[in-house]
Structure 1
């Protein structure tokens, strides 16, 4: 017909779009791309509108849109914008899942766990946010409420609950897995019930008058916090003035002479008042929540014990 728009064969559509002939024929057979006309010999022919329709099908399929949804778009039941929004949300979920998988693989590669541990780590990493909250709640509830200390420990834990984000970093995921393993340990739960709070002052320095302890321990805590803030290594010579000041104050308050015997006694008492596994729990919570570690919030005992014992190995004349 004169002036009529020329029609295209399947081969021409394939050449212009890059879609294989067999795929175009499949779209045509399923009604997604009905032919505009047929030749007397029965060969299919397609208009420019069909060419545009094929371009849209190709884009939607490349975006992983299912054929049923493609048909609804072509029929006008759904807009391209609606489909794009839905698939953007789905893709975001897939991306998060891939990132979690990537972090998990890196964690397994770094820790080298046994097959059983690998399965447990994978299960812990894939818990939903609701399941993670239940795990933490069950752990806190398991501390019991039989003693004031256990009730106080549970209250302290509730003030800083671990909350793993939807897209955790490698460090956050590793911290969460280790934290969940700790919370599943009955022995650790018992230790946490007794050690989540700082030990009573009279437990740290038995035999000392209450007024003396009330004066001494804040001084020690403050001295260690300042030393940490300044980046002082407890095993280095820069720690000596801090230890000397603490030992001198302790000697005066307790009425005992300063020297190796007093310093070792203080080291033993501070060491007994600190549970490194409980401290590890709090550090993991900070890591999961991506909180900054504040030196003044760290237990003072580990730093002070190391510094005291170093001072006992170095005579005053050599310092």
Structure 2
């Protein structure tokens, strides 16, 4: 810059949009010093100081602290370092705000006592390790004495319960409710009794065996492929659709011991639509169910995002169309 003029503080304020008091403050704090001070004490700024003041003003609007700005102007940190650190702090602040919003929404919906407010705040702020311990304690208690294979138990647990780094409000609210339930002795007892009653029937040993878990997982893998194909926009009657329909037909034929045929594939196409209807009904019932284990599953689905994903990308109708497309083909 070739401009060597000096500007009075009022002119600097007009150029930068900062107040006169703010400019004086930055000078007193050693952030941006004036180029000169007259005998009468008037501060004068050159174009370089004005540019620095505009930069400082922008950083302050982005909530950067004075110490961070000072270190940046002194060359002790880079602008990228400052932005990264500030972004991390903002992310932490955003998480705390979401957590508080979820707690306040829960309080607003319920007649909440002071002790419960403290508990809900703690639950919302739990670390991943703390959530894991709570989840493990719950499952260790309710599965004690349950005569199912370890593989089936793992299928019911469905891995770790992970709250996303940036959870939606509904996910935080679901976690607060679920964490409260997991620590409730009465809820744990009800779930344990329900599971033991469900898996004490004569046929339960077969349905919960290691072999059946393998069957469930293979069928689940085929549905995942159908879901991925539907997401990608692949037509149900495409080569990929026919391949997936063939896999599903072979899988179901293995379970039912029914030979593959056009009639069987047409039947499966209709059956899949029936499964879709039952699934939709189960989602509706789960949302309002008073059954403890059903409510547990519903909350977990909200937390891990599978409830929303299932509602948006259920592959049953697509798979039914694919089965109809290959119904007349014996070998596909």
Question: How high is the TM-score relative to the length of structure 2?
Answer: 0.60
Alignment correspondent of 2:120? 121
Bigger Rg, which one: 1
**Shift, 1:58, TM fit:** 0.9
Taking the aligned partners of 2:173 and 2:38, their CA distance within structure 1 comes to 66
5 Å-filtered alignment, 1:1-319, equals 5-143=4-142, 145=144, 148=147, 155=154, 157-196=156-195, 198-202=198-202, 229-230=276-277, 276-292=291-307
CA contact (8 A) 1:14 1:21 kept: yes
**Shift, 1:226, TM fit:** 7.2
Count of residues in Structure 1 that have an aligned counterpart in Structure 2: 238
Per-residue CA distance 1:159-190 (angstroms, 9 max, x = gap): 34432222222332232222212211223323
Taking the aligned partners of 1:43 and 1:160, their CA distance within structure 2 comes to 69
Per-residue CA distance 1:106-127 (angstroms, 9 max, x = gap): 2322234333333322221221
CA contact (8 A) 1:154 1:193 kept: no
Gaps of 5+ in 2: 205-254, 257-270, 282-289, 312-332
RMSD (Å), alpha carbons: 3.7
Alignment correspondent of 1:302? none
* Change over 3 Å in CA distance of 1:127–1:60 after alignment to 2: same
**Shift, 1:13, TM fit:** 1.2
* Change over 3 Å in CA distance of 1:277–1:289 after alignment to 2: same
Gaps of 5+ in 1: 205-217, 235-274, 296-319
* Change over 3 Å in CA distance of 1:226–1:111 after alignment to 2: farther
Question: How high is the TM-score relative to the length of structure 1?
Answer: 0.62
**Shift, 1:44, TM fit:** 2.0
CA contact (8 A) 2:98 2:169 kept: no
CA contact (8 A) 2:95 2:166 kept: yes
